[in-house]
Amino acid sequence: MTIIIPLNPIRKSFPDPVPCRPGSLTRRSPVPHRRPVRAPGLRACLFGVSKSTKGTYSRAVAETSPLDPLASGFLADLGAVRVASDYTVRNYRQALEEFSEWHRGGAAGAAPDWVALSRDHFRQYLRWLGRKRLGRASVRLRLSALRTFYRHLLQQKAVVEQPVRGLRVPKEERRLPRFLSVPDMERLLQAPLEEHRRLQSAADTDSAPDPTEWLRDAAVLELIYSAGLRVSEVCGLRVDQVDLNGQTLRVLGKGRKERVIPFGGPALAALEAYWRWIGPQQKPSDPVFQGRGGVPLSPIRVQTRLKRYLAQAGLDPALTPHKLRHSFATHLLEDGADLRAVQELLGHKNLKTTEVYTHVTVERLKAVYAAAHPRA
């Protein structure tokens, strides 16, 4: 049976792009001409982490972390050997540092001796976390970091057992993901170019704003929604991962797993408009979306720009880029896409993770039924 998946169900057209600079981009020449990119320094790697600097953050952590050699070695191994994301390395480092601080502030008054710790130590730590009233996900993340650390120590033969094994943790919360409706999504996707037009009409001819950032933002939002990308994936996207002719992306997701995702016509038009404008040719390994100074666009920058467009569209500025991914999955399922196909597009390892979106659509159907049926 052939499954037809709507690539982008609501985006039928893209606003006319800003006139391009000399030189053009055609479907037969997918690599645009752009200015060269400067390599980011250590500060950019630490505070503006991107996938293009993969492993730099992990090495920097190993060199600067106040943790003991066992923990520092684990973090270095996590980033370099197991190829964990920089975000995972950062979260695990924070978890180990927090446990170490807790242990220093307790009766022991010293850094933890990981080999000598018992299950009772970790039970006390979990009770301490409970008094802090942390969310279930936060507690589970901390325990996951400790479990992974001890599995590493067991493999290195530094310990003979895992004291964190078998500890009871709070059940995972099953919250329904928030998403934007189709009309709200339409308003958000139009917001960047509408803002630029408004600024352009209010400015003098000599002081008209450079449209680069607005064209880039329009392409970023379109691509996240059209392909269901994580913000880290869109920021880490390289030129050679984009096939304009086939309208597909080669994306490296969690665990460095590669997947090929189609994207729709409006996203293609937005990307071509951005590439036509920014000009000079760049290497296939260079980032698709650049920030100031030619460095890869950072997730924090995407979040900051999104807030202003959400406010402009009359939507909640607290929404994150991940809500566009939620909207992508929900709209596909509402339009009849197969659940397993959506799982592949999202890059979910487990179908159970994707099934949460079916609950969203069922809840919406119930709401429609309750509002419309005379005997609901």
- What is the predicted pLDDT for the residue at 13? 52
Q: For the chain (length 376 residues), average pLDDT per consecutive 10?
A: 46 50 41 39 35 42 64 87 78 94 84 93 92 89 94 93 86 78 95 94 80 96 96 93 94 85 95 88 85 88 96 95 94 90 90 83 76 79
Alpha-carbon distance of 61 to 154, in angstroms, equals 22
Q: Is residue 127 among the annotated active site residues?
A: no
Q: Is residue 21 among the annotated active site residues?
A: no
Q: Is residue 196 among the annotated active site residues?
A: no
- CATH 1.10.443.10 in the chain is located at 182-372
CB burial of residue 186 (10 Å; 0-12, 13-18, 19+): middle
Among residues 216, 253, 248, 260, the alpha carbon closest in space to that of 236 is found at: 253
Q: Which amino acid is at 234?
A: V
Backbone angles phi, psi at 258, to 5 degrees: -95, 140
Instruction: Please check whether residue 288 is in contact with residue 238, taking contact to mean a CB–CB distance below 8 angstroms.
Output: yes
List 57, 125, 150, 357, catalytic entry: 357
List 152, 238, 305, 348, catalytic entry: 348
List 152, 230, 238, 276, catalytic entry: 230
Secondary structure of the chain as H, E, C letters = CCCCCCCCCCCCCCCCCCCCCCCCCCCCCCCCECCCCCCCCHHHHHHCCCHHHCCHHHHHHHHHCCCCHHHHHHHHHHHHCCCCCHHHHHHHHHHHHHHHHHHHHCCCCCCCCCCCCCHHHHHHHHHHHHHCCCCHHHHHHHHHHHHHHHHHHHHCCCCCCCCCCCCCCCCCCCCCCCCCCHHHHHHHHHHHHHHHHHHHHHCCHHHCCCCHHHHHHHHHHHHHHHHCCCHHHHHCCEHHHEECCCCEEEEECHHHCEEEEECCHHHHHHHHHHHHHHCCECCCCCECCECHHHCECCHHHHHHHHHHHHHHCCCCCCCCCHHHHHHHHHHHHHCCCCHHHHHHHHCCCCHHHHHHHHHHHHHHHHHHHHHHCCCC
User: Which two structure tokens, joined as six digits, stand for 367?
Assistant: 């709401």
Which residues lie closer than 8 Å to 29 by C-beta, 6 or more apart?
none
Instruction: Please check whether residue 251 is in contact with residue 237, taking contact to mean a CB–CB distance below 8 angstroms.
Output: yes
Alpha-carbon distance of 364 to 286, in angstroms, equals 42
Q: Is residue 140 among the annotated active site residues?
A: no
Q: Is residue 254 among the annotated active site residues?
A: yes
List 142, 325, 326, 331, catalytic entry: 325
Alpha-carbon distance of 64 to 50, in angstroms, equals 19
Q: Is residue 349 among the annotated active site residues?
A: no
Pick the CATH number of 182-372 from 2.40.128.30, 3.30.460.10, 1.20.1250.20, 1.10.443.10: 1.10.443.10
